[in-house]
Structure 1
Amino acid sequence: MTTPRRVFLRLLDGIHRRAWEELPLLYAEDAVVVYPFTGARLTGRTELRSHFAAAASRGVDLRAEDIVIHETTDPEVVIGEFVYRGRRDGRDIDAPRIFVMRVRNGLIVSSRDYGNG
């Protein structure tokens, strides 16, 4: 069984490897990803595919460090804290993040991605 923890770590690994074409497959067809600090929202695998394609075109090169995973009493929910370090849009970044993800049947069905910068 693919646990929410494993799916979260696969997502971070795929971002680090710049596996942009693989990443949408971690999400359910009707997944919803919300960025509460910006109000942005991605709905469905097609929008996620476009989101990751844009990352590829912008030369995003990130690695997640200082990873802390919080498992919850809800077996579908995992909370991951980490810091993205690397380059985005030609600039070095050091950006703390928290993802609150719901994973069902091995796929991300919803995620709230909190970050500043």
Structure 2
Amino acid sequence: MSVEEIVTAYHAAMLHKSPDELADLYAEDGLHEFPFGAAPPFQGREEVRRGYHAMWDATPFEIDEVRRVAVHRTEDPEVVVVEQTVHGTVAGRHLTVPGLLVLRVRDGGIVHTRDYMDTSAIARIRDAA
């Protein structure tokens, strides 16, 4: 899978809130980190699956759209930076969560993700719930 296909599939998994779709994009030993402390890191495809299952099942935030703002190529051909906004509703209130993904893709799978979410937006989701 190309980087472009992975980014598209990643956003589709988010839209569907599908931990299986998301985990299937990862290498078996892939790492998913949350540098701003939203959750502990997930080590390995199956932990990504379990971790996102727990997170997405627990949130009342219904995702309406995942908008790709930009994909930035870096000097390292394995690494891209994805700017995105997630639009959705919770308790009838529309909210937007901006974020950045730093993805390292090797041999068609994600080997490392650094997931930077706007923690103030996450707090607004929790408050609205």
Is 1:73 the counterpart of 2:75 in the alignment?
Answer: yes
Consecutive aligned runs of 4 or more in structure 1 exceeding 6 Å deviation: none
Q: Which has the higher strand share?
A: 1
Task: State whether residues 81 and 97 of structure 1, in contact with CA within 8 Å, keep that contact through their aligned partners in structure 2.
Answer: yes
For 1:41, the equivalent position in structure 2 comes to 41
Task: Tell me the equivalent position of 1:12.
Answer: 11
Q: The residue matched to 1:32 in structure 2 has which SS? A: strand
More helix as a share of residues: 2
User: 1:52 is matched with which residue?
Assistant: 52
Q: What secondary structure, in the 3-state scheme, does the structure 1 residue paired with 2:41 have?
A: strand
CA–CA separation in structure 2 for the residues paired with 1:6 and 1:19: 17
State yes or no: 1:93 paired with 2:92. no
Instruction: Please name the residue that 1:61 is paired with.
Output: 62
The two structures have a TM-score, normalised by structure 2, of: 0.77
Consecutive unaligned residues of structure 2, counting only runs of 5 or more, are 123-129
1:29 correspondence with 2:31: no
Among all aligned residue pairs of Structure 1 and Structure 2, give the percentage whose two residues are the same amino acid.
31
Q: 1:66 to 1:25 in 2, by over 3 A?
A: closer
Deviating more after overlay: 17-26 vs 78-87: 17-26
Q: 1: CA distance between counterparts of 2:31 and 2:91?
A: 25
Higher RCO, Cα 8 Å, sep 6+: 1
- Amino acid aligned to 1:110: H
> Contact 2:84 / 2:100 at 8 angstroms: preserved in 1?
yes
CA distance in 1, matches of 2:116, 2:7: 14
Q: CA deviation at 1:8?
A: 1.5
Across the aligned residues of Structure 1 and Structure 2, the Cα RMSD in angstroms comes to 2.2
Report how far residue 80 of structure 1 moved. 0.3
